[in-house]
Amino acid sequence: MNIGVINESGKIENRTGLTPSSVSLLVENGHTIYVQAGAGLKAGYTNEEYTSQGANIVFTKDEVFGRSDIVLNISPLNEEECKLVKKNQILFGFHHLAVAPKSLVACLLKKGVNVIGYEIIQQDNNVLPFIESLSEIAGQMCLAISGQYLQTSQGGRGVIMGGVASVPPATAVIIGSGVLARSAIKALLGAGAHTIALGRYMDRLRELEEMTSGRLITLIASKYNLARMTKVADILIGAVLLPGERAPVMITKDMVKSMKKGSLIIDLAIDQGGCIETSRLTTLEQPTYVEEGVIHYCVPNITSSVSRTSTKVLSNSVTPYLISIGEAGIEEALKQDDSLARGVYVYNGNIVKKTIAERFDFPYKELFSS
C-alpha cells in the first residue's frame, strides 16, 4: 500500500506520523511511503533520514493525498485538508470527531472515506493504546507545567510543589481516575505535592490508593466534593476521558470562582471539549490565559512540546496496524482485529459510531451489517 505522512507544522503541531525506524519496517513489508518535505523536522528528523530508509519525499500536501491509500495525521484535519481527501482513502490519526465542526464531518462523508481515530482504538481489556501512551507523557508534563506557572513571575501563587521545612507542599487536585490521572498522580506525588484524586468508580480509586501505598487521598467525584476540593487546590488537573465522546463538564464556573487567586488549571481533556466550564483552547505559543483570577493551561496537543518522544510513541503504536491493513486489506483487518474496528468513525462514507451520528444528526450504519 501507499502510505502518506503530511507536514502539519502549519497547525502548530510538532509531531509527525512516522519515524524513520517505522518507515524502514514498512518498506521491508513492501509498502511505499510518501513523506511531505519537512514533516519530521520539528520532531528532529530530516528529509535525508527518511529517504535513507526508503521513503519518497514529496513537496506538497496535494501530492501526499493524491498518491496515498492511507494518510497519517496527528492533529485533526482542517477544512482545506479535507478537500484534498480522495474516495476510499484511509485517514488514520487523531480526529476527535465528537468536537469537530459539522461541516468537516459532512465533507468526510461526502468523500466516501474511511476514518480511523487513534483516540478510540480500544483493546479487549479496555486499554486505549494510543491514549495510554501519550497520557503517560502528558501526566509527567503536568509537573513541569505546574512548576512553571505557579511561580510569582508567571502570575502564580508563588509556591513550590513539595514544600520545605515548616511550609506545607502545594495541593494538587486531579479530576479523573484513568491512565491520564494515574500518570499525573505519580509525577505530583513524587515531587511531594499534597495530592487528591476524585473519580466516579470505586474500583479505580482503590487501585490508585494501592498504587500509591495510601499516600493519595481519594474521593468520589460528586458535585459536593468537587466544589470543596476546588477551593483548596493550588493546581487543578482535569483528566476526564470518554472515548469518542465530548468530555463531560465536571468543574463549573462558580467552582472556578471559588479557587485561590493565582492557582492553576490544566485541562487535559481540552482535546475533547474540556471538562472545566471556563476552559477554552490555547496553543503552545500562547498556552495560558487568566479567568476569575485563575491561570488556565488548555493546550490540546500538549505532548507536541516533547515532539520526539511523542512521535516515537505514536509511530511505534501505529506501525503494526499499518502492516496488518497492508497484509489483509482494510475490511479483513477490521474483521480480524476488534481493537482496530473499535477505532473506526467512518467506513466507506458512513458513520459507524452511533454517538457521532446522533450528535450531528447524520445517518448511522453498523460497521458490518449482517
Residues tagged active-site: 96, 271
Strands, E, within the chain: which ranges?
2-5, 32-36, 56-58, 70-73, 90-93, 114-117, 171-175, 194-199, 217-220, 235-238, 264-267, 288-291, 294-297, 344-347, 350-351
All three cell numbers of 229: 476540593
Q: How do 194-199 and 171-175 pair as beta strands?
A: parallel
Q: Which residues pair with 194 in a beta bridge?
A: 171
Burial (Cβ within 10 Å: 0-12, 13-18, ≥19) of residue 155: middle
Residue in 261, 314, 313, 303 with CA at minimum distance from that of residue 142: 303
Alpha helices in 173-278 (DSSP H): 179-190, 202-211, 223-232, 253-257
Residue in 355, 344, 360 with CA at minimum distance from that of residue 117: 344
Distance CA 92, CA 113 (A): 11
End-to-end Cα spacing for the chain: 28
Distance CA 17, CA 39 (A): 8
- Write the DSSP assignment of 203-233 as a string of letters: HHHHHHHHHTTT-SEEEE--HHHHHHHHHH-
Identify whether the C-beta of residue 241 lies closer than 8 Å to the C-beta of residue 199: no
- Per DSSP, 332 falls in state H
Q: Which residue has the cell 493550588?
A: 234
